[in-house]
Structure 1
Amino acid sequence: MTMIKMVADVDVDVAAGSDVSGSKPAGSCLLGLKSGTIPDKAITASSFYQSLDVHAPRTARLDSLGGWAGGKNEVGQWIQVSLEKATSIFGVVTQGRNNKSAAQWVTQYKVSYQGPYDSAWIPVEDAAGNVAVFKGNTDIDTHVTNKFSKPVVATKIRILPQAWHNYMSMRFDLLTC
C-alpha cells in the first residue's frame, strides 16, 4: 500500500496500483471483501436472518455463495465494514443474494461513514449536498456500481438498505479508486 498525506493531516491507504482518477475498471479498485483481504470479523450488521450463519455478515462478500440477509425486513437494518486504517472510498459495488430459489436483493440504499476523527455517522451526499440514495440491484447476479460524488475518507462504512425485492439481502465490495 502507498500512503498519501492528506491536507487534514490524516494518512490514507491507497491500494497499490490504484488510479485515483477513477479510470481503472471497478474490479481492480475493489477494497478486499471479494478477495478475502478484509477479515470476517471486520464485517458486521445490525442483525441477520434467524441468526443463521448462512445469512451472516461475512457472507456478504461480492460474488460469494449466499449473502447477508437482514434480521428484520425493515428500514433501519445495516451492514458495515471496519477498516484497519483511514481509507479513501470512492463508491460501492452490490449484488443480490446468491440463491436462485429466493430472488432477493436491495433496490435502494444509503451509505454512511465514520472518518478518522468522527464518532458520529456521516451520510454520503450527492453532488447537490443532499443525502444520497443509491440505486441497487434488479436481480441476484449483476454487479451494480455506484460512485460517490466525491470520495470519503473512512474508518468504517455502513450500508443502510431503504428498499428491496422480496427480502433485504445483498453482497458488496467497496471501491478504492
Structure 2
Amino acid sequence: MVDKESSSWLPLSSSTECPYHRALGFESGSVTADQISCSNQDQYGGWYSSWLPHKARLNNQGFGCTWLSKFNDQQQWLQIDLKEVGVVSGILTQGRCDADEWITKYSVQYRTVESLNWIYYKDQTGNNRVFYGNSDRSSTVQNLLRPPIVARYVRLLPLGWHTRIAVRMELLMCMNKCS
C-alpha cells in the first residue's frame, strides 16, 4: 500500500485492476522539466538541444514538440521522477508531431527509491513485458499496467521505432475513486 494522507491511492495486490486513472501532468505542464530526463542527456547540444526530454509531452506541438533520442539503439531511455511514490497504472504515447518518427514498442522499468536497482515490468510468464507503441505520428496509444506499479521513478525503454526514437507521452496514475 502506498502511504498517502488521501484515501484516493489504491492498495495493490497481484490481481488489482485500477478502477480510475488520472493523468500525471505531462500534457498540462504540472510535470516540470526537471522531472524528465533521458540517456545521454549531457550530449544534447546544437540541433538536439531543441529535442530535450521535457518536450515529451502528450499533444505537444510546434518545433521541438517531442523527445528525440540522439542515438537510435536499445540502450536509450526516458525517465520520469514522480517526486513521491505513487501508483502508476498506464502509459500514453504519441510520435513526433512534425515528422514520421515514433516508437513502435518499448519496455518499462521502475523503482521506488534512487538507491534500488531498476525492476522490469514483467508479463504473466515472468518475461520483460513488451508494450506496443505507435504506428503513426499523431494517434495516441494507451497501454494499461495490469497490475499497476508502485514507483517513484519510471523509465520507458524504446525497443523498436519508425525512422528514429521519438515520443510524446503521459503517465496515468491509479485512483480508487474519481476526483
Number of equivalences: 163
Q: Which moved more, 1:102-111 or 1:122-131?
A: 122-131
In structure 2, the partner of 1:31 is 24
Q: 2:120 aligns with which of 116, 120, 123?
A: 123
Counterpart CA distance in 2 for 1:53 and 1:67 is 11
Counterpart CA distance in 2 for 1:168 and 1:14 is 38
Q: Tell whether the 8 Å contact from 2:94 to 2:167 is kept in structure 1 after alignment.
A: yes
Q: 1:58 aligns with which of 50, 54, 72?
A: 54
Deviation at 1:13, TM superposition (A): 8.2
Report the residue type matching 1:63 in the other structure.
N
Deviations 1:60-100 (A, max 9, x none): 0111121001110111100010111100001110000111x
Unaligned runs of 5+ in 2: 11-15, 175-179
Residues 156 and 117 (structure 1 numbering): CA distance in 2 closer, same or farther, change over 3 Å? closer
Q: Does 1:89 align with 2:85?
A: no
Q: Which moved more, 1:54-63 or 1:112-121?
A: 112-121
Counterpart CA distance in 2 for 1:85 and 1:104 is 32
Residues 58 and 117 (structure 1 numbering): CA distance in 2 closer, same or farther, change over 3 Å? closer
In structure 1, the partner of 2:3 is 11
In structure 1, the partner of 2:13 is none
Structure number with greater CO (CA < 8 Å, separation at least 6) is 2
Unaligned runs of 5+ in 1: 1-5
Q: Tell whether the 8 Å contact from 1:127 to 1:149 is kept in structure 2 after alignment.
A: no
Deviations 1:2-25 (A, max 9, x none): xxxx1xxx415879699x95454x
TM-score, normalization: structure 1?
0.83
Q: Which moved more, 1:107-116 or 1:42-51?
A: 42-51
TM-score, normalization: structure 2?
0.82
Q: Tell whether the 8 Å contact from 1:13 to 1:86 is kept in structure 2 after alignment.
A: no
Residues 176 and 142 (structure 1 numbering): CA distance in 2 closer, same or farther, change over 3 Å? same
Q: Tell whether the 8 Å contact from 1:13 to 1:87 is kept in structure 2 after alignment.
A: no
Taking only the aligned residue pairs, the percentage that are identical comes to 33
Q: Tell whether the 8 Å contact from 2:103 to 2:165 is kept in structure 1 after alignment.
A: yes
Q: Per the alignment, in what secondary structure is the counterpart of residue 11 of structure 1?
A: coil
Q: Tell whether the 8 Å contact from 2:18 to 2:148 is kept in structure 1 after alignment.
A: no
Q: Tell whether the 8 Å contact from 1:110 to 1:134 is kept in structure 2 after alignment.
A: yes
Residues 136 and 39 (structure 1 numbering): CA distance in 2 closer, same or farther, change over 3 Å? same
In structure 1, the partner of 2:109 is 112
Q: Tell whether the 8 Å contact from 2:88 to 2:172 is kept in structure 1 after alignment.
A: yes
Residues 169 and 13 (structure 1 numbering): CA distance in 2 closer, same or farther, change over 3 Å? farther
